[in-house]
Structure 1
Amino acid sequence: MTHPVSNPQDGGWRRFALWPSAAVFVLVWAAVAVAGPETVAGHVGPDGEVTRWDSKRELLTVFGLTAAGIVIAFGGMGWLLARIPASAVNLPNRRRKEYWTRPENRDRLNRMLSEDMGLIGAATLLLMAWLLVVLTRAGDHRTDTWALLVPVLVFLAAVIAYTIHLAVGSRYAIPGE
């Protein structure tokens, strides 16, 4: 049975977040490919000092393949979830697992999980686009530490907070409870 997206907790917008983020990443990747320097920072130490330089081609290959993997994995989550047995689904609460893995609720669970994974994938692609810009703009053997550290810490804090929200919040609560 399919449930309409009428409940604000369903968050249908999450389903589409991956695609605009992928477009942003592709635009940044293309801009670096066309206009970026031939030698880019391959590794930056905690003090902002560039400790390894790589070719632009290397950086674009690694980032491009990683982003493609993220788009395939997170974009295909709905397809994958529809094919795994209920016993393989793990929810942090036994009652919630029993409710959501019932056949009449499984389609909605799959959609919600897919949406949540898409949102995390979208955030990851945006972080990667930012890091690509920072690594390409490193000059004089240095980059601003804050330009790397702050976005990574914000990303990690947001993913941890969102994961906690999903585990104990209302998104996967049993309706009517």
Structure 2
Amino acid sequence: MQRGMSLIELLVYIAILSIVVVVLSATYVSFVGIRAKTEAVAATDTALRYVSETLTRDVERASSISAPALGDTGIQLTLVQGSSTIIYALTNGSMSRSVDGVLEILTSDRVTITSFDVRRTANSQSLTVRSHEGVQWLLEAEHSYGGGEYRYDAARKGAASLRIYE
């Protein structure tokens, strides 16, 4: 009866174990990369959705739009809500909202807003002989992840109009 393992058996065991470790390591690295990409997509899309929802809410509650001028496209939106002035602007890669000078950053530092274009519009209705003012915007953002190895870009368009009830 033989006790122990021969050198050949030990080498076969080490080879099989090495293959299993390599496969498991590659699978783990792949899952980590997929997770990072998924988080980047979610963070970017969430940031753009939050900015769009906040913009929509403020425009609908505003009593007037100060900037940009009617028909013009700008990089800053100024709204008047009662006695308050609300300004949306792109500030150092972040979307900012200022209410009477109090600044609030709407996006996280992981997401960079690369472009904010806003256009003031008016829609005349012949039945009511009224003009409904509003804005259209385009937000573009990016998220770098994996130490700059990967990048996710996204854009979101939106529009809202003043809700003035008489």
Higher helix share: 1
Question: TM-score scaled by structure 2?
Answer: 0.28
Question: TM-score scaled by structure 1?
Answer: 0.27
Larger radius of gyration: 2
Higher strand share: 2
If asked which structure has higher relative contact order (CA below 8 Å, sep 6+), I would say: 1
